[in-house]
Amino acid sequence: MRRRILALASILAIALIFTATPLGRAILIEGRDRLVRWLDGNRPHGLADLDHRLTSAGLDPRDGVHLRIHKDEATLEIWIADGARHRLFSTLPICRWSGRLGPKLKEGDSQAPEGFFLVDRDGLNPNSAHHLSMNLGFPTPADRVQGRTGSFLMIHGGCLSVGCYAMTDAGIDQIYAVVERSIAAGKPVPVHVFPFRMTDAALADTRTSPWAADWAIMAKGWRLFEETGNPPPVAMCGAETIFERRRGCLDPAGRPI
């Protein structure tokens, strides 16, 4: 009995040490998600009340879905079209993202990307090693012109991330379900990833950042959504990102406009 108590105490002590650090907490959550996945045959765990919540809110993902990420808050917002505007349906915590505020520059820098992305059917992966995932499509056409490189930058399950946004399995279950329904209805999903809420005050506080010029452009798209309630059209004309459909430019997925 004494040995069992000592063993249990040791396990609890190790768990406490792990949870005292962000990486330790992420490893524990990742381990939990993988164990549950293995025991339950990869069944979804975040969908128990999703349809009820959608019905209660009077929202239908087939009308269109928009995802917004604010890195500094580690949050992902699910917005769903409701008439002439989108309405906030859910705000989910990001379990872990890697790097720091600022854009991804090159393959292997462990940096989670920022920018304007578009997820369509080809970006969905129901057989991901991270339970479920969706490819953001980095680098976008504008990133490529600037020489930025990287691949397979995802929103996915679990809690470990190298350049991706890890949402836990329960979190990605919800996100994937609404995104999949929107895409099936013919509405690809804009995913806009911001370093922070791009208010005038926040931009003033970061005016000396090396990324201030990038963020000033991103702020235009952020504000347009705040004003209209709809994700603005995004066109990439060489290295320039604009918020209107312009012939001869590309959408974030690289398709001609």
Catalytic residues: 156, 164
Q: Which residues touch 107 (CB under 8 Å, ≥6 apart)?
A: 149, 150, 151
Question: From CA 257, how far away is CA 242, in angstroms rounded?
Answer: 12
> Are the C-beta atoms of residues 64 and 197 closer than 8 Å to each other?
no
